[in-house]
Amino acid sequence: MTTTRLALHGIALVVGAMLAFGVTNCSARPSSTGPRLAGWLITVYYTAVESYHVDPAESVRGCSRLECERGDSPLGEYPKGFVDAVQAEGTGRITSGPNAGRYLNWSHNLGYWLDDAPRDSRGERLEPFVSAAADPDVLAAGTNFTIAECGTLDSGEKPPDEVCERIRSAHWTVRDEFTPGLGGPQHIDIYIGEEQGPDFTASPWYLSLKNAVIALR
């Protein structure tokens, strides 16, 4: 459902993103009782928001409901960047037209469909700072974990403290799976909710962490 992630670019949106994601009392980290596992790659995925994309519109066809596969019904016209982000991330909130307030979702198995919620690959509602994806042979569905150490960015630098503290303070559960071929050993994708502005992939929240440590619960 997810795709190859971009490395972190810049730190310009740290403050705004912190407020948008509700970073408060980050010193209160969850305790862990299970083993700590080192050497993980952690990436993120999010819900795209149509209003943050101003590209020329393109038509989308698919299913008008969840209980459908590879449909060919017209689902509306949306900015190309938004449509691309939905295919990359798996979900996007529509903000204009007759489907405003609904979601355009995508999965490898179903294609595009309209829905009333952002969904994971199993059709369950995605929950920010809870839902995570992994290949089934890496971490089984239902595995609970925390992020004990954030590791480093692709540049070798540490991520911004505020971002690291927020993802460390969360309790994650594997509820989702990667699109085939995009996961791999010791790779987890964590869901962080809606994008918070234009060019979200250039913000500190759209990151890739190497050599992170997770703690099973």
Indicate whether 141 belongs to any domain: yes
**What does the pLDDT profile of the chain (217 residues) look like in tens digits?**
443 333 333 333 333 343 344 433 333 455 556 799 999 999 999 999 999 999 999 999 999 988 788 899 999 999 999 999 999 999 999 999 999 999 999 998 889 999 999 999 888 999 999 999 999 999 999 999 999 999 999 999 999 999 999 999 999 999 998 877 778 899 999 999 999 999 999 999 999 999 999 999 8
- Could you give the C-alpha distances from 113 to 94, 102, 128, 154, in angstroms and in order? 12, 10, 21, 34
How many domains does the structure of the chain reveal?
2
**Within this chain, do residues 171 and 69 fall inside the same structural domain, yes or no?**
no
**Within this chain, do residues 40 and 127 fall inside the same structural domain, yes or no?**
yes
Assigned token pair, 107: 């999965």
Distance CA 193, CA 36 (A): 26
Query: Model-level pTM?
Result: 0.83
**Within this chain, do residues 54 and 135 fall inside the same structural domain, yes or no?**
no
Q: Where in the sequence is the domain holding 90, given as residue range(s)?
A: 49-115
Indicate whether 53 belongs to any domain: yes
Q: What are the residues whose beta carbons fall under 8 Å from the beta carbon of 95, sequence distance 6 or more?
A: 49, 50, 51, 101
Domain end call among 95, 115, 135: 115
**Within this chain, do residues 206 and 137 fall inside the same structural domain, yes or no?**
yes
**Within this chain, do residues 176 and 83 fall inside the same structural domain, yes or no?**
no
**Within this chain, do residues 26 and 56 fall inside the same structural domain, yes or no?**
no
Domain end call among 68, 92, 115: 115
Helix, strand, or coil here: 57?
Answer: strand
Indicate whether 2 belongs to any domain: no
Indicate whether 6 belongs to any domain: no
- Other Cβ atoms less than 10 A from the Cβ of 136: the count is 11
